[in-house]
Amino acid sequence: MPADLETAEPARPAIRRTGARQVRPATEGWQQQKGADGRPLLQFASPKRGKPPVHLADLKPEEWKGKAEELGLPGFRVKQLARHYYTRWTTDPAEMTDLPAAGREELVAGMLPPLLTEVKRLETDRGDTIKFLWKLHDGALVESVLMRYPGRITLCVSSQAGCGMNCPFCATGQQGLTRNMSAAEIVDQIVQANRVIASGALGGKKRDDHSQERVSNIVFMGMGEPLANYARIMQAVRTMVAPAPNGLGMSARNITVSTVGLVPAIGKLANEGIPVTFALSLHAPDDGLRDELIPVNSRWKVDEALDAARDYFDKTGRRVSIEYALIKDMNDHGWRADLLAEKLNERGHGWVHVNPIPLNPTPGSIWTASDLDVQREFVRRLEAAGIPTTIRDTRGKEIDGACGQLATEG
Ligand code: SF4
C-alpha cells in the first residue's frame, strides 16, 4: 500500500469535519513501549512474581473450612472470623472476643494475613475525598479513592499493580503491568476504607445525610484494566455481593466494572448472571483516533466494543455507560459527538448513556480540558440525538492528576 494511503484518515462526510484543530495523542515526558510491529505494546499476561498470601477473600465460603484445617486451624471457627472481617472490618484478634483466646491469633494470621499497608493518604480540604496509596506484600504500589456524595459513599478501586494497556495519557500505563492483584487485595481496599469511615475520618457528612456509614458504591476505575484480571475481579465481585458473613452484602448494581474494550471478556461478564453496571471507556468514536488514544483498539475496534456493550445490555437488562474524557482539540469535536450518537443509535435506543468527563485544565499539555462552550456543544449534540448524557464529576482529580499518579511518584 502506498505510504500516503497508509496514513490517510478514513473519509467522512464533509458535514462532520469543520476544519477544527486536531491534536494527536502522544506521550509527554516518557516513551511508550512498542512491540515488534511498531505498535504500542499490550501486556495481557501478568509477569510471574511471588503471589500474595492466600486470604479468606480469595476463597469461596465452601473452601474456608478446608483451607483452615490444612493450616492446622479450627475450620469451624472461620465463619465467626469472616463476620469480624466483613461486617466489623477488623483483623485485630483482641477485638474478636467471641473466639477462644487460645489459637485466635494463629487463626487470624492464617486466614487474614495483612495485604495492604498504607503508605500515604491525601485529603481534600473538606475531607470528603481521601486518596490512599497502598503497598502490597512485594512492594508494588496501588491506590484507591474514597468519595462521599449525597446519599452514597463510593470507592474507586485498583485491580492491577500497573497496567498493560499502555494508554498514552495514563500515568499507570507508563509503568507497564507489574502484576495482577489477588481477589483479596481488591476486597481489602473496601474493608480498609470501611474501617476508615467507621473511625469518622471521612468528612463532608451533612446533618440530613442518613446514608449508611460504609462504602455503598464501587467503581473499578483505579489502577489497571479490570477485565485483564478477569478471574480475580470476579471472585472479588462475588465477595462484594455475597450476604454477610460470606461477603460484604453490597448491591451488584452499585458496582461498576469498566474496561477499555476487551471484547471477549465483556461477553463473559454478560453471562455471569451478576447484574453489575458495565462501563466502556470509549473516549473516541472513530478508529482513526482511538487506535492512538487507546492502544487496545488495534485488537478490538470501536464497532466490536460497542456491539459487545449492546450485548451486555441485552443479556443483563442493565443500561451501559460510555465514558468519554473530553480532551481539548483531540476528541471533543462536534462531528465526533454526532458520530458517537449515530453509532449508539444504530444499536437501538434506551440501552446506553454517555458520561463525558471534563479533564482538569493542564496548561501547556496536549491533555487538557475542553473549553466550556465546547463541552456544552458536545453534550447538546448527544442530547439532540436522543442520547441520555450526564457530565461526570471529576472528584479526586483535585488531589492529583490522572489515576496512578500517586503510585508513580511513590
Ligand atoms: S487508562 Fe486504564 S487501561 Fe489505559 S493504561 Fe491507564 S489504567 Fe490502563
What are the tens digits of pLDDT across the range 255-304? 999 999 999 999 999 999 999 999 999 999 999 999 999 999 999 999 99
Ligand 1 and 167: CB distance under 6 A: yes
Each residue's pLDDT tens digit, 63-122 = 999 999 999 999 999 999 999 999 999 999 999 999 999 999 999 999 999 999 999 999
Strands (E), 345-395: 352-358
Cell numbers 483531540 correspond to what residue?
A: 330
Which CATH architecture is the domain 56-111 placed in? Orthogonal Bundle (1.10)
Per DSSP, helices labelled H in 137-248 are 171-174, 183-198, 230-241
Domain 115-409, what fold?
TIM Barrel (3.20.20)
Please name the helix (run of DSSP H) or strand (run of DSSP E) that holds residue 161, with its range, or none: strand 160-162
For residue 78, give the nearest of 92, 90, 66 by alpha carbon: 66
Question: What is the arithmetic mean of pLDDT over 26-52?
Answer: 90
- Residue 133 has what pLDDT? 96
220: helix, coil or strand?
strand
Please tell me the distance between residue 163's alpha carbon and the centre of ligand 1 in angstroms: 6
Task: Indicate yes or no: pTM above 0.85.
Answer: yes
- Residue 210 has what pLDDT? 58
Ligand 1 and 155: CB distance under 6 A: no
Helical packing angle, 78-87 and 61-70, nearest 10°:
120
Annotation says 377 is catalytic: no
Give the number of other CB atoms < 10 A from CB of residue 285.
23
Distance CA 83, CA 333 (A): 52
Annotation says 403 is catalytic: yes
Each residue's pLDDT tens digit, 223-252 = 999 999 999 999 999 999 999 999 999 999
Distance CA 58, CA 48 (A): 18
Q: What atom of ligand 1 comes closest to residue 260's alpha carbon?
A: 3
For residue 136, give the nearest of 234, 51, 225, 237 by alpha carbon: 51
Question: What is residue 78's DSSP assignment?
Answer: H
Give the number of other CB atoms < 10 A from CB of residue 255.
21
Query: Which of 32, 172, 357 gets mutated to test ligand 1 (max ligand atoms within 8 A of its CB)?
Result: 172
For residue 378, give the nearest of 396, 359, 394 by alpha carbon: 359
Each residue's pLDDT tens digit, 177-220 = 999 999 999 999 999 999 999 999 999 887 766 556 899 999 99
Question: What is residue 82's DSSP assignment?
Answer: H
CA angle 198, 406, 85 (to 5 degrees): 30
Return the C-alpha cell found at 147: 468519595
Distance CA 397, CA 410 (A): 17
Query: What are the residue ranges spanned by the domains of the chain?
Result: 56-111, 115-409
- Residue numbers belonging to the annotated binding site for S-adenosyl-L-methionine: 224-225, 258, 281-283, 360
Q: Is the fold of 56-111 the same as that of 115-409?
A: no
Ligand 1 and 163: CB distance under 6 A: yes
Return the C-alpha cell found at 50: 511471588
CA angle 29, 33, 37 (to 5 degrees): 135
Choose the catalytic residue: 143, 185, 292, 323.
143
